[in-house]
Amino acid sequence: MGFSRQASHRALELIDTKVEKAFEEAASTNGLDVKRVNLVDGIMGAYSPAHKLQVFVSLSRANGLRVWYMHEGECGSCQREKSCRVFLEREATERGIELSSEDWGKPPTELALMVFERYLGD
């Protein structure tokens, strides 16, 4: 199957445009101020003025488009603890982030920081 360089380049531009549009819509829907977008890694760093929290919007094969608010939760008493762990495990695996078994024993709010810390800054 042969593709020209031009066709490949156009396809990549189209993908970038669609990913950027998805991030813009997620920001608008969730009332987020966009801080930075990394189209290569499929991560958008943002801030939620309503909740006064840092936010990550992740686009991955494993999880689709997800919004993660960086907050101090009470994971042990939350009904969603297991689903958060599954989300973070998939995210870490897809992104090639290795976490120790000790790390996996931590609450999801701490795990999220470990998974997304490389995208923190500014």
What is the residue-level pLDDT of the chain in tens, covering all 122 positions? 576 888 776 777 777 788 899 999 999 999 999 999 988 889 999 999 999 999 999 999 999 999 999 888 788 889 999 999 999 999 999 999 999 999 999 999 899 988 987 776 54
CA distance 46 to 57: 8
What's the pLDDT score for residue 113?
Answer: 86
Q: Which domain holds residue 81?
A: 5-119
The sheet with strand 64-69 has its strands ordered as 33-38, 43-48, 53-60, 64-69
Q: How many domains does the chain have?
A: 1
Secondary structure class of 60 (helix, strand, coil): strand
Q: pTM above 0.85?
A: no
State residue 77 phi and psi, 5-degree precision.
Answer: -110, 10
What's the pLDDT score for residue 1?
Answer: 58
